[in-house]
């Protein structure tokens, strides 16, 4: 059986349609499936929609968070609740083409354990957004070696990969990269991002920025090493300057100008503050992890949803 996991946050206009489209496609291909909606604390009628569908269609299940915990939480809650031999993650707004699910499923039947769908085009996004995403993926690639170019959350995972992800103890996750990190036989497939079916995107720049910082710091310690690098560069600089100063002093050429002193103070001050800031990111992550708070809190389940903690 295939578990289709759909994170949904304020998607009342999309849920029924998405369920119909996906069931239509999978029924036509005769693929046995269950559909799990993870309602990420929606404030609209999403949950009522999910419950209604659950009553109409035995394959539809759902769970609801006590508040909005973010898409990552919804993905992981869905993976926990999934009962299938493999699971596919797909957005509720049909930006990930569900027509590809059968193809991904066949790849799985033919031995693939993880099927990642990559965006061949990024759809309609602002220039700033594109640059942001590009810069972020570059940083991830050069520092942690994980290639996220075109990566999306649209993936099919074998039960083995699902179990591996379910066992991860960490709180701050970055699903897109973690599914590559767990390994397994991975295959790729390309897709074009379509415009959103209905409703608006749930992201804004602040959310994206926090998401970016969290993802980088949860995958690589490279930013921390930048501080050391800057320190080494300044060390060399300091030796040269020191020698020059001493030479000037002993040859009686010592100036009483403050320019160099002021510049050095400014530069060093900035470097130190950036350094402390970067350490702060990691420290705050350690703090978050060590609190061992759950990633999400489930307030309700629909009938037939697997409850597993
Ligand atoms: N989503 C979620 N929790 C959030 C934000 C988004 O579960 O806090 C879900 C949303 O319902 C959708 C998917 O994540 O199914 C992708 O969100 P969206 O379409 O807003 O992102 P975009 O496609 O613009 O990147
Ligand atoms: Mg979307």
59 lines ligand 1 (CB under 6 A): no
Q: What is the full DSSP assignment across 255-297?
A: ----HHHHHHHHHHHHHHHHHHHHHHHHHHHHHHHHTT--S--
209 lines ligand 1 (CB under 6 A): no
Which among 4, 5, 6, 7 is the best mutation to test ligand 1's pocket, defined by most ligand atoms within 8 Å of the CB? Answer: 7
Closest ligand 1 atom to Cα of 74: 7
List, for residues 254-285, the tens digit of each pLDDT value.
766 667 777 778 778 878 888 888 888 888 88
pTM attached to this predicted model? 0.71
Distance 195 CA to ligand 2 centre (A): 8
User: How many Å apart are CA 12 and CA 27, to the nearest integer?
Assistant: 23
Q: What is the full DSSP assignment across 1-64?
A: -EEEEEEESS-HHHHHHHHHHHHHHHHHTT--EEEEEEE-S-SSSHHHHHHHHHHH-TTEEEEE
User: How many Å apart are CA 173 and CA 157, to the nearest integer?
Assistant: 17
Please report the pLDDT score of residue 260 as a whole number.
75
Q: Return the DSSP state at 119.
A: E
Please report the pLDDT score of residue 248 as a whole number.
81
Enumerate the H helices of 94-221 as residue ranges.
100-109, 127-144, 159-166, 175-181, 205-219
List, for residues 162-200, the tens digit of each pLDDT value.
998 888 877 777 787 777 777 888 888 888 777 777 777
| Listed residues: CB within 5 A of ion ligand 2 | 93, 95
Order of strands across the sheet with 60-65? Answer: 186-192, 114-121, 155-158, 86-89, 2-8, 33-39, 60-65, 298-301
Distance 243 CA to ligand 1 centre (A): 58
Kindly list the averaged pLDDT for each block of 10 residues, start to end, along the chain of length 309.
93 89 89 92 90 88 91 91 92 88 91 86 71 77 72 89 86 76 82 75 76 77 79 82 82 72 79 82 81 85 74
SS3 192: strand
Count of C-beta atoms within a 10 Å radius of residue 291: 8
Distance 47 CA to ligand 2 centre (A): 19
Cα dihedral value 273, 277, 278, 280, nearest 10 = 140
Q: Could you tell me which residues are beta bridge partners of residue 4? A: 35, 88
| Ligand 1, atom 16, residue with closest C-alpha | 91
């Amino acid at each position: 059986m295939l578990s289709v996991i759909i994170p949904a946050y304020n998607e009342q206009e999309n849920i029924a349609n998405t369920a119909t489209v996906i069931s239509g496609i999978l029924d036509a291909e005769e693929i046995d499936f269950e559909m799990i909606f993870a309602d990420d604390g929606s404030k609209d009628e999403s949950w009522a929609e999910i419950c209604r569908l659950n009553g109409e269609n035995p394959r539809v299940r759902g769970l609801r968070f006590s508040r909005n915990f973010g898409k990552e939480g919804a993905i992981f809650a869905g993976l926990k609740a999934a009962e299938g031999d493999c699971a596919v993650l797909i957005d509720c707004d049909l930006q990930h083409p569900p027509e590809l699910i059968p193809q991904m499923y066949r790849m799985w039947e033919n031995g693939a354990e993880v099927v990642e769908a990559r965006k061949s085009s990024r759809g309609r996004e602002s220039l700033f957004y594109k640059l942001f995403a590009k810069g972020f993926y570059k940083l991830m690639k050069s520092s942690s070696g994980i290639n996220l170019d075109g990566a999306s959350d649209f993936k099919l995972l074998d039960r083995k990969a699902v179990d591996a992800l379910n066992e991860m103890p960490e709180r701050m996750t970055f699903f897109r990269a973690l599914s590559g990190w767990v390994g397994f036989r991975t295959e790729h497939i390309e897709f074009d991002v379509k415009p959103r079916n209905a409703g608006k995107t749930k992201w804004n720049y602040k959310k994206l920025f926090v998401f970016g910082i969290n993802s980088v710091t949860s995958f690589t310690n490279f930013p921390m090493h930048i501080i050391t690098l800057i320190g080494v560069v300044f060390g060399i600089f300091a030796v040269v300057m020191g020698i020059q100063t001493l030479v000037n002093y002993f040859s009686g050429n010592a100036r009483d100008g403050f320019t160099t002193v002021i510049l050095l103070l400014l530069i060093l001050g900035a470097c130190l503050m950036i350094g402390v800031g970067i350490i702060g990111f990691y420290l705050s992550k350690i703090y978050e992890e060590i609190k061992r708070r759950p990633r999400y809190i489930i307030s309700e389940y629909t009938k037939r949803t697997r409850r597993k903690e």
